[in-house]
Amino acid sequence: MRGGDGRDSCPDSIPGSGAQAAARAAELRERIEHHNYRYHVLDDPEVPDAEYDRLMRELVALEEAHPGLRSSDSPTQRVGAAPLSEFAEVVHATPMLSLGNAFGEEELRDFDRRVRERLEVEEVEYALEPKLDGLAASLVYRDGRLERGATRGDGERGEDVTRNLRTIAAVPLRMRGDGHPRVLEVRGEVYMTRSGFERLNERQREAGEKVYANPRNAAAGGLRQLDSGITASRPLTILFHGLGLIEEHPGFASHRELTEGLRGWGFPVSPELEVVRGVEGCLAYYEKIGRRRDGLDFDIDGIVVKVNRLDQQRSLGAVSRAPRWAVACKYPAQEELTVVRGIDVQVGRTGTLTPVARLEAVQVAGVTVTNATLHNQDEVDRKDVRVGDTVIVRRAGDVIPEVVRVLPERRPADTVPFRLPDACPVCGAPAARAEGESAVRCGAGLSCPAQRKQAIIHFASRHALDIEGLGEKLVDQLVEREMVDNVVDLYDRLDAEALAALERMAEKSADNLLEALERSRQTTFPRFLYGLGIRDVGEATAAALARHFGELAALLGASEETLQEVPDVGPVVAANIRSFFGNEKNRALVERLAEILTWPAIPRDAPSPLSGRVFVITGTLGTMGRSEAKERLEARGAKVTGSVSKKTDYVVAGEAAGSKLDKAERLGIPVLGEEDLLRVLDDPSALPEPGDPS
């Protein structure tokens, strides 16, 4: 994705005097060369792409203002750096070009105007695809068989990674169908899905191995393994997006035809490809894919706009290593630089002390980020994040913002390593790390006000009792003013008069809260159990316990052995449950709650109607991310897969659902909207019959 030469943009200011400009250009070149080396040769970039792009744009503008400064060895005049020496070198039959960037609507309109003028036409047909954030590869097929595969390298020469590419399941070893050209060079993007990346890092962490900063680096690290056995164990995939060379074949008339041809030969191509007329269609597509970006399971950094007709592509040709017939329209970067202003310690519901980095506010992928969790002491140690550090933050998909890593070269002189305190910052009780755990906990339990607050917030949360309007600020006030000590007090001690006295609490909102509390009295057994906030009892375990015991009395009387008969309840969770109910105060709370709340009976050990059902989730959901929807369905026994086939039982379609929804409709698979999904999650018996389109 590097290599856009940013010819289209303007810097903030251009030094006027020649000497000043020359000095600045030299400095920029040095920095860009350095970052190029880190990125292309070491696969270990030091700064986010957005920062690199800014340097490059500044240099391009500087050279434009002072043409005398442009030299053939300037980084603006080439695409990348030399390949690593370990792999055999491959000279590409035709150079692997890079793409120019269009930042914003105006620059895209400029691109379209230039294309129309050169072609002398009124309107151009464009083929549009997401721009995958992975790394480019070129694969040569001779008489239908994979002969050689290479990385892009500097565009002219890459590395021979044939053995590694062969390990990627999405790479055809033999072309399908017929009419194969004698020689075919196809080009595509090797990448890793976000879920594959999370899984890989989890594995790496457990094995004490290197953890990757983002899916792109993980994909690069995977493809460039000298041991292809390691590559094979990495969840890499590929989508093909173009041709290098085609011999003895009549060829194709358009990019769309080309992708259809490739698909027919067994090469995966983007399912999101669209052909539109004119720039308005491109802008609409840019918006549409942008809205879906967070919900995708892979990183994209923009869309690629290509002139669809190949004869028009040929007549437009290329300039300085980038085609005139294509351009990349970038989205806001998913990684940015910022500074750690402080590290706070939060106390969670079960007493866990969590370090949270307070960041200088920064826009990441369109959202202002001001803090990022650092998880636990091990994570802080691994990244060595300190107050004052410049860090890279990443926000992609539904995942909460993360500190990817520190830039050690920007660390101020007087920083100190961060350590979690050995006393609870809220109540002062001793905080310690239990054997074999990563968490440091405050041992004070519900006598710690922080834990009391969190227990109430959790009880009121959406997947528990869902008490609308009872947010963190309000709970803070209620606990601090000693109006509420525990969840029972919400029902027993609050009235309109007391509430109206609180800050920012008008009569109306007091009434609304009381109504919400009233409504919450009618709940479900799993919601109630989840709301208790027993350590390690998440939604899935709560649902399993409810199904297994059917009623509260049976659960309260269950021994650790009996508890372990419940699917997914092991000795640790069983012990947690026993110790929760064994505590007298908890017991009293639970018994009083059972008087206040009501829930419909659950038939004992009834199998969940969701059990074994295969779901596909597509589009954007308003109330939760796709990964959360997946987790919640799986918690109820469903399977969630990525692509629609005859084996799919249900498709959940959010906003702007695309090709998967079309396919579901074609195959007559029942489609659930978001409302339906929420209903089914609450009450799985609301699930329509499979194959019974609703």
Query: Using the rule CB under 6 A, which residue among 4, 235, 355, 526 binds ligand IVH?
Result: 4
Q: How far is the CB of 657 from ligand IVH (least distance, A)?
A: 21
Q: How far is the CB of 152 from ligand IVH (least distance, A)?
A: 6
Q: Which two tokens stand for residue 640?
A: 């969630």
Q: Which two tokens stand for residue 240?
A: 């093909």
Q: How far is the CB of 328 from ligand IVH (least distance, A)?
A: 5
Stretch that binds ligand IVH, among 24-32, 93-101, 341-349, 562-570 (CB under 6 A): 93-101
Q: Can you spell out the DSSP letters for 313-347?
A: HHHH-EETTEETTEEEEEPPPSEEEEEEEEEEEEE
Query: Which residue, 191 or 418, has its beta carbon nearer to ligand IVH?
Result: 191
Q: Does 40 bind ligand IVH (CB under 6 A)?
A: no
Compute CA distances 196 → 218, 237, 297, 495, whole Å.
10, 10, 9, 50
Q: Does 242 bind ligand IVH (CB under 6 A)?
A: yes
Q: How far apart are CA 513 and CA 507, in angstroms?
A: 10
Query: Using the rule CB under 6 A, which residue among 29, 35, 131, 255 binds ligand IVH?
Result: 131
Query: Using the rule CB under 6 A, which residue among 136, 464, 479, 624 binds ligand IVH?
Result: 136
Q: Can you spell out the DSSP letters for 573-607?
A: HHHHHHHHHHSHHHHHHHHHHHHH-B-----TTPP
DSSP 3-state of 362: strand
Q: How far is the CB of 296 from ligand IVH (least distance, A)?
A: 13
Query: Using the rule CB under 6 A, which residue among 5, 107, 189, 402 binds ligand IVH?
Result: 189
Cα 516 from chain centroid?
A: 34
Q: Is the dihedral of CA 542, 543, 548, 550 positive or negative?
A: positive
Site string for ligand IVH, 597-616 (x = CB under 6 A): --------------------
Query: Using the rule CB under 6 A, which residue among 46, 51, 129, 154 binds ligand IVH?
Result: 129
Helix or strand (DSSP H, E) at 529: helix 525-531
Stretch that binds ligand IVH, among 127-135, 335-343, 540-548, 653-661 (CB under 6 A): 127-135
Query: Using the rule CB under 6 A, which residue among 9, 76, 98, 237 binds ligand IVH?
Result: 98
Stretch that binds ligand IVH, among 97-105, 465-473, 482-490, 538-546 (CB under 6 A): 97-105
Stretch that binds ligand IVH, among 91-99, 258-266, 345-353, 619-627 (CB under 6 A): 91-99
3-state secondary structure 472-521: HHHHHHHHHCCCCCCHHHHHHCCCHHHHHCCCCCCHHHHHHHHHHHHHHC
Q: How far is the CB of 454 from ligand IVH (least distance, A)?
A: 43
Q: Does 49 bind ligand IVH (CB under 6 A)?
A: no
Query: Which residue, 219 or 440, has its beta carbon nearer to ligand IVH?
Result: 219
Q: Can you spell out the DSSP letters for 180-233?
A: --SEEEEEEEEEE-HHHHHHHHHHHHHTT-PPPSSHHHHHHHHHT-SSHHHHHT
Residue number closest to ligand IVH, CB atom? 136
Q: Does 269 bind ligand IVH (CB under 6 A)?
A: no
**How many CA atoms does the CB half-sphere of 107 hold within 13 Å?**
16
282-341 positions binding ligand IVH, by CB under 6 A: 304, 323, 326, 328
Compute CA distances 402 → 334, 359, 397, 543, whole Å.
11, 11, 12, 31
Catalytic site residues?
Answer: 131
372 strand-pairing partners? 357
Residues near ligand IVH (CB under 6 A) are 1, 3-4, 97-99, 129, 131-132, 136, 152, 189, 241-242, 270, 304, 323, 326, 328
